[in-house]
Amino acid sequence: MTPIDNAAPEPQGRFVPPPPPRKSSTPWKWIFIGCGALAFIGMLLCGGCGYLAYRVTQSTLAIQQEAERIAMASPEVAADIGTVRSVTFTGRTVQNPDQSAAQFYNVRGAEGSGELEVSIKLAGFEMKMTRVVYIRKDGGRVELKTGR
């Protein structure tokens, strides 16, 4: 007998299926992945812009409250227009060459009104008040102490 004859016979009925056919890649999968990635990037950009707008708005409101506090505590303002009743933003903002800006506020008092010029500078995502000038009824200017 030869060694081949001594080999164990293959069990009958054993069948190895052929490998499954390869799926063709459709372009829709990549279109959906690309659109999803663009939508995610768009959400990140919109969220970042929204956060920036929120921080700038909050710092603007804080500057207005601080300007109101300074005007109410100032003896120079009280001497010119009496007791301060309200401080409102005029909507006028002037850009300065040194990358700062000046915002103007109406100051109404018991005996008249004047104007505050608040100089601000953007520091990071927040605006910081650098100086406050009171413009009297007669046009004279008085720099007020900011307490900083």
pLDDT in tens, 57-90: 888 888 889 989 998 898 989 898 988 898 888 8
DSSP string spanning 42-103? HHHHHHHHHHHHHHHHHHHHHHHHHHHHHHHH-HHHHHHHSSEEEEEEEEEEEE-TTSEEEE
Task: Quote the CA–CA distance of 102 and 139 in Å, as a whole number.
Answer: 17
Sign, CA torsion 143/79/116/138: negative
**pLDDT tens for residues 82-116?**
888 988 888 888 888 888 889 999 999 988 889 99
3-class DSSP state of 132? strand
pLDDT band at 34 (very low <50, low <70, confident <90, very high): very high
Task: Quote the CA–CA distance of 135 and 77 in Å, as a whole number.
Answer: 9
